[in-house]
Amino acid sequence: MLLNSQLIDESDVAAQPLPAIQVLGLKPLYYRTVLAQAGKINCPNNGYKSQGFTGNLGKYQFNSVNLELLGYLKAGSLAKRQSQAGANALTINEAANWTGKNGSNSASDFLINSGEQEAAIQALWYYNANWLTGNTSFFTTTTVGQQVGFLLVAQIASVQAVVRFNDFLMGRNVDGNLADYTGRFTLLDYFQAGQLASDFGASVQIA
């Protein structure tokens, strides 16, 4: 269940940098609203320097899957730790796994670079939107608000998780243990937050 502290208001949108890369044909102020929500649901205090208890980094809580996808972590870094408890945090916190992309030689470097985090989230959303458009049949048939919701799910998990999550929404493949259900309903919060942000952003779409 979403907390009020996780939802955006006008001040959050005003503080959000305008994006340089567009997705879904969203106009700049609309997309800025969506990105403001993408940050606030993870870090209500706009914490570029925050690291979550699972190891995820920054305002947008990048996980090791997405950091590897974006080229900040070396390919195969997570796979080396996959069988270990806390694999995500162990992968992210090991400096040897970092590629040095744009000066990020460690988790600490990435955390102090707000501009790099903003560039990274835009690159991630661009990649995820293109992947979901090209590799699924459901993404392009949904509303813009639902698409934004799916992209928020992809941000905190992965595009593959979006496919499984859509099965959950459609009532398919819902058998699983308690942890599976907990994960799905956590993602449901992100999906709903995306739709709320889209509604909020629609009021400034003229810009």
Tokens of 92: 């992210």
114 pLDDT above the threshold of 70: yes
Residue 207 has a pLDDT of 42
- Distance, CA of 84 to CA of 68 (rounded, Å): 18
Mean pLDDT of 97-101: 98
pTM of the model: 0.85
Nearest CA to 190 among 153, 163, 162? Answer: 153
Q: What is the mean pLDDT of residues 137-160?
A: 89
| Distance separating alpha carbons of residues 117 and 37, to the nearest angstrom | 15
Cα gap 63→205, rounded to integer Å: 30
Stretch 75-92: mean pLDDT? 92
pLDDT tens-digit map of 9-53: 888 888 899 899 889 888 888 888 888 888 888 776 658 999 988
Number of H helices, E strands in the chain: 10, 0
Distance of CA 59 to the CA centre of its chain: 10
Please provide the average confidence, as pLDDT, over all residues in the chain. 84
Q: pLDDT at position 8, please?
A: 78
**Rounded distance, CA 146 to CA 90, Å?**
33
Question: Looking at the predicted structure, is the pLDDT value of residue 77 above 80?
Answer: yes
Residue 181: pLDDT band (50, 70, 90) is: very low
pLDDT at 182: 40
**Ramachandran quadrant class, 37 (left: phi over 0; alpha: psi -120 to 50; beta: rest):** alpha
Average pLDDT over residues 144-159: 88
Count CA atoms within 13 Å of residue 152 on its CB side. 30
